[in-house]
Amino acid sequence: MRGVAAFAFAILALLATTHAHADKVRDLAQVAGVRSNQLIGYGLVVGLDGSGDQTTQAPFTTQSLENMLQQFGVTIPASARPQLKNAAAVTITAELPPFAKPGQTIDITVASIGNAKSIRGGELLMAPLRGADGNTYAIAQGSVVVGGVSAQGKSGSSVQVNISASGRIPNGATVERSVASSFSQGGDLMLNLNTPDFITSSRIADAINRAYGAGTARAQDGGSVVVRGPVDASQKVAWLGAIQALEVTPGDAPARVVVNSRTGTVVIGSDVRVSAAAVAHGAIQVTISEQPAVSQPNAFGQGQTAVVPNSSVSVSEDGGHMFKFGPGASLDSIVRAVNQVGAAPSDLISILQALKQAGALHAELVVI
């Protein structure tokens, strides 16, 4: 674990020493109004090998299948209650990209909402995908591809790798309706930055003005750049393509430390600085052992045999380390000090939080 942490910190240090480079405008900003839309649907996955929903706990699966069969003229008697272990009720989600036209295909994600153990090898029956307005924009159907593996024995022992109750269907939905867009209309273009930054916004406007004349673009704020649109609306596509191909050097990233407390991942930005501080890093171990003893009364005594608790408690502090950061210590100094003491990522999280509380960490500490 410590070797992995040292390697990760070394990679971060290497990335921190790289110089700023120019990016294309298309990688820094998106065109306002050109966006994707989320779709959702409900359907049935059939053909499972006994790993589907248990109808006693997921009655909606049986109800959904009965409704589907009625559409084909098949009526199930009211007294019959089929046990559908080979079917599972699922939700279907997809992302409809901008400018998608009827007839094109998109990928979909299928996830069980019942108690199905696995949907591996299942077939999704035709299901509509609706948008937030309630209209149907795509029709989904196809074979589910599952990346997880699960197995269970008769004794109850089981093993599982990843998740097998959800999967994907590449090109599993066909677009039936396109989303209206205002892009084809005339007027100015608005570029919204992926990461709002006043320097980046100003540099994008300057690059467009140098290429196409003063007054062509202006930075509205730290997150948006307004670009004058062409007189002929039919030239809007070519005009925007030329602007997106321009190269701009973005502003420096803010000094920030991102900590994932669940996985122990720590990402340190290149501009992070630490004031002069001393950090003590140690491992306190508390050991408690129980060795109960039996107390026997005398041969002619009136007492009773009893169990007497006998506890042994010891406290030790081994492997303690203390290191010092000089004033203005950079990312390289932090990585070097942490690697020298062999601290794990979880230890580094505690160190960074302590430095922030002491006012010695000059960066934004983000915990996710």
Q: pLDDT tens digits for 282-313?
A: 554 445 555 666 666 666 666 677 766 665 65
C-beta of residue 152 within 8 angstroms of C-beta of residue 194: no
54 class by beta-carbon count within 10 Å (0-12 exposed, 13-18 middle, 19+ buried): middle
Residue 13 has pLDDT above 50, yes or no: no
Residue 83 has pLDDT above 90, yes or no: no
Residue 354 has pLDDT above 70, yes or no: yes
At residue 46, φ and ψ (nearest 5 deg) are: -120, 170
pLDDT band at 272 (very low <50, low <70, confident <90, very high): confident
Residue 215 has pLDDT above 80, yes or no: yes
Over range 102-112, report the average pLDDT: 93
Where do the domains of the chain lie, and which CATH numbers do they carry?
A: 37-175 (no CATH), 184-248 (3.30.1370), 255-367 (no CATH)
pLDDT band at 109 (very low <50, low <70, confident <90, very high): very high
- Please identify which residue in the block is written with the tokens 């990312």: 331
Look at 8 and 152; give whichever has higher pLDDT.
Answer: 152
C-beta of residue 325 within 8 angstroms of C-beta of residue 308: no
Give the bridge partners for 317, in sequence order. Answer: 284
What's the predicted TM-score (pTM) here? 0.63
- Residues in contact with 91: Cβ distance below 8 Å, sequence separation at least 6, in sequence order: 40, 41, 42, 110, 111, 113
Residue 76 has pLDDT above 50, yes or no: yes
> What is the model's pLDDT at position 60?
77
Residue 22 has pLDDT above 90, yes or no: no
**What average pLDDT does the chain have?**
76
Rounded to an integer, what distance in angstroms lies between the CA atom of residue 51 and that of residue 48?
Answer: 6
Give the bridge partners for 140, in sequence order. Answer: 127, 173
Look at 207 and 367; give whichever has higher pLDDT.
Answer: 207
> What is the model's pLDDT at position 110?
93
* Residue 119 C-beta-side C-alpha neighbours within 13 Å: 32
- Torsion sign (Cα): 165, 167, 169, 172: positive
> What is the model's pLDDT at position 2?
46
Residue 70 has pLDDT above 50, yes or no: yes
Q: pLDDT tens digits for 241-258?
A: 888 888 888 887 777 777
Angle between helix axes 345-357 and 331-341 (nearest 10 degrees) is 130
